[in-house]
């Protein structure tokens, strides 16, 4: 085949900003959520250097905060404490200070209303959670539907930290389909596209069997 007749290659676009070239691969959800040995079917999407490297601190905080909730006593959580968390806290003084500032003893109740007793818990930064979950949604949207969400598309997220929030979101779960890949006990998700609004989507995500997030993408009318 001559050079003139070869099909043109379309450069990969970063699925997060939807404008810069996707020059590197990024795992979605972040591979740091998975204890080793990690599954062989992790999802990889195209990312630019800025979007990939800029999320690292938020993702470390996201994981570290989970470990002070009921997620820390799951099988995966216990393994992560041994494999990763103790080294992370030892090396990262900024993360240690942030975690220590938010720690206090308080009642711990799962979103389903199960009382787990009083234990050391963390007052978390919802803004940092929001950034990580929005990044996960954009990556999974590309994986599920084969196209990147435009940069101007709004993604709204909600940490289902109370029983009322959890029950409201789960009431819509039957309208969503299970995602193409699941990792039980670590990360599972349901999703659905809004009819007539391709950029509109709804997501229900569960981390470590207990921690739930709700997210919606789309225009102001959809959100």
Q: Summarize pLDDT for 96-106 with one digit per residue, the tens.
A: 566 656 655 66
Q: Integer distance in angstroms from the first to the last C-alpha of the chain?
A: 49
The pLDDT tens digits for 74-127 are 898 888 888 877 677 666 666 656 665 665 566 766 666 777 676 655 566 788
The pLDDT tens digits for 5-34 are 443 344 589 999 998 999 999 999 999 999
pLDDT of residue 56 exceeding 80, the answer is yes
205 and 187 Cβ atoms separated by less than 8 Å? yes
For 11, the token pair is: 């450069």
For residues 70 and 17, give the distance between their C-alpha atoms in angstroms, rounded to a whole number: 33
Which among 155, 165, 162 is positioned nearest to 203, based on CA atoms? 155
30 and 11 Cβ atoms separated by less than 8 Å? no
Using DSSP's 3-state secondary structure scheme, residue 75 falls into: helix
Q: How many contiguous H segments (helices) and E segments (strands) does the chain have?
A: 7, 9
């Amino acid at each position: 085949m001559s050079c003139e007749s070869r099909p043109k290659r379309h450069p990969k676009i970063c699925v997060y900003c939807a404008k810069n070239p996707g020059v590197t691969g990024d795992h979605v959800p972040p591979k740091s959520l998975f204890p080793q040995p990690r599954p062989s079917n992790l999802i990889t999407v195209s990312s630019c250097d800025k979007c990939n490297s800029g999320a690292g601190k938020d993702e470390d905080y996201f994981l570290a905060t989970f470990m002070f909730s009921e997620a820390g006593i799951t099988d995966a959580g216990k393994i992560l404490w041994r494999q990763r968390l103790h080294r992370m806290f030892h090396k990262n003084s900024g993360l240690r200070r942030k975690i220590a500032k938010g720690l206090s003893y308080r009642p711990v109740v799962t979103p389903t209303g199960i009382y787990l007793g009083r234990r050391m818990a963390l007052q978390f930064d919802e803004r940092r959670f929001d950034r990580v979950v929005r990044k996960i949604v954009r990556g999974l949207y590309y994986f599920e539907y084969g196209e990147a969400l435009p940069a101007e598309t709004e993604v709204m997220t909600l940490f289902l930290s109370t029983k009322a929030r959890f029950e409201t979101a789960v009431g819509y779960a039957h309208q969503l389909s299970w995602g193409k890949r699941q990792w039980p006990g670590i990360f599972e998700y349901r999703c659905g596209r809004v009819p007539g609004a391709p950029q509109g989507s709804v997501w229900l995500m569960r981390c470590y069997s207990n921690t739930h997030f709700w997210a919606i993408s789309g225009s102001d009318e959809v959100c």
